A and B are shown apart, each in its own frame.
Chain A
Amino acid sequence: GAVVSQHPSRVICKSGTSVKIECRSLDFQATTMFWYRQFPKKSLMLMATSNEGSKATYEQGVEKDKFLINHASLTLSTLTVTSAHPEDSSFYICSAADRGLAYEQYFGPGTRLTVT
């Protein structure tokens, strides 16, 4: 149980376009979802925390107008990278947590974004 999926697993886009990444909890309801970013050979950095039905809380230094997060339901959160630039190229990973699962975070497989 406690499976989290991400789609797409890999995406290439041109500078200036927007890209949407989906994160779904497949077999549980997630009251909280998290978005992380990982640079090559670096650790994961928390970008934002989102609770279902409310606005996301962004970490310091993360532009909320550039990284739009929507947590419209208990099983789906989306991250939209707007007006993407090559420096946005990275590995994006989501996780989901719920009180019923002792708040343990379950991670998606990640999305590799390349902006050309």
Chain B
Amino acid sequence: KQEVTQIPAALSVPEGENLVLNCSFTDSAIYNLQWFRQDPGKGLTSLLLIQSSQREQTSGRLNASLDKSSGRSTLYIAASQPGDSATYLCAVASGSARQLTFGSGTQLTVLP
């Protein structure tokens, strides 16, 4: 059974700092890995999707990497801003129906 772990559970940084969020998964037989953002009481916003054949994806200040063999992914956020404050979720797609298994999230607070 796929298990996804995110470290740290919470992170507080001053504005402008670069930061890295970590995600690990137990079964390397995945189709893709996604990073999402969730604001309190809201739904999910997809940030980046990395296919299993890819090593990284970039969008603006965000860069996500994938090392499938070691079961790890990182989300790098450059020059953090208070508006980046949210919970970041990592999810991997595996299984016959490509079900998503989510990590427990990292709650990020960027202090002005």
Contact = CB atoms under 8 A, between A and B. Distances in A.
Interface stretch (A11-19, A42-50, A61-69, A71-79): A42-50
Contacts, number: 50
Given A34-B99, A44-B102, A110-B42, A105 B93 contact: yes
Contacts of A102: 51
A60 B31 CA distance: 22
A29 interface: no
B51 to A, nearest CB: 8
Instruction: Describe B's contact surface by its main secondary structure.
Output: strand
A46 B46 CA distance: 17
A109 interface: yes
B66 interface: no
A42 B104 contact: yes
Interface in A81-116: 91, 93, 95, 97, 102-110, 112
A32 interface: yes
A109 B38 CA distance: 10
The 6 A-B pairs at the shortest CB distance, nearest first, are namely A109-B43, A110-B43, A43-B102, A107-B44, A43-B104, A44-B102
Interface of A: 32, 34, 42-46, 49, 51, 57, 91, 93, 95, 97, 102-110, 112
